[in-house]
Amino acid sequence: GQQVMQIPQYQHVQEGEDFTTYCNSSTTLSNIQWYKQRPGGHPVFLIQLVKSGEVKKQKRLTFQFGEAKKNSSLHITATQTTDVGTYFCACRNSNSGYALNFGKGTSLLVTP
C-alpha cells in the first residue's frame, strides 16, 4: 500500500515561532488527510486535501497539497502552547481501497 514519510520527527519551538511539517510519498496520492493527537489523546481529523496544488487555511494553520500530489505540508503561524501534540498525515491504501495509512507523525513541543 501507499506509504507516507513525515519530517521532522520532532520539533521544539518557542511560543510565537512558526512550525512546518512535511509529508512525502513516492507515489501519486488521490488525497491526503491531516490529524492532530494531543499528548495522551486520540487522533482528531483536521482536514482533507484532494486537488493538485490545493491550499487550505484554518486560522493559523495552512495546509498545502503539492502540484504532483506526492507531498503535503502543514504550517502553523505563531505557535501557541495549545498547538502541542503530534501531527499526522494519512493517505488511502490503494490496495485496500479505503483504509488510511498514517505517517509516523511530527511531535511538536511549544514552550512559553
Partner 1 sequence: DAGVIQSPRHEVTEMGQEVTLRCKPISGHDYLFWYRQTMMRGLELLIYFNNNVPIDDSGMPEDRFSAKMPNASFSTLKIQPSEPRDSAVYFCASSLVPLTGELFFGEGSRLTVL
Pair 7, 104: CB distance under 8 Å: no
Q: Which residues bind partner 1 (CB under 8 A)?
A: 31, 33, 35, 41-45, 48, 88, 93, 95-105
13 vs 46, which CB is nearer to partner 1? 46
Secondary structure of residue 32 in the 3-state scheme: strand
Length of the chain: 112
44 vs 78, which CB is nearer to partner 1? 44
What is the rounded distance in angstroms from the CA atom of residue 76 to the CA atom of residue 73?
Answer: 10
Least distance in Å: CB of 39 to partner 1? Answer: 12
**Displacement of CA 27 from its chain's centroid (Å):** 17
- Amino acid identity, position 48: Q
Burial of 75 from C-beta contacts in 10 A (0-12 / 13-18 / 19+): middle
Least distance in Å: CB of 27 to partner 1? Answer: 18
49 vs 76, which CB is nearer to partner 1? 49
Least distance in Å: CB of 96 to partner 1? Answer: 4
48 vs 77, which CB is nearer to partner 1? 48
Least distance in Å: CB of 78 to partner 1? Answer: 26
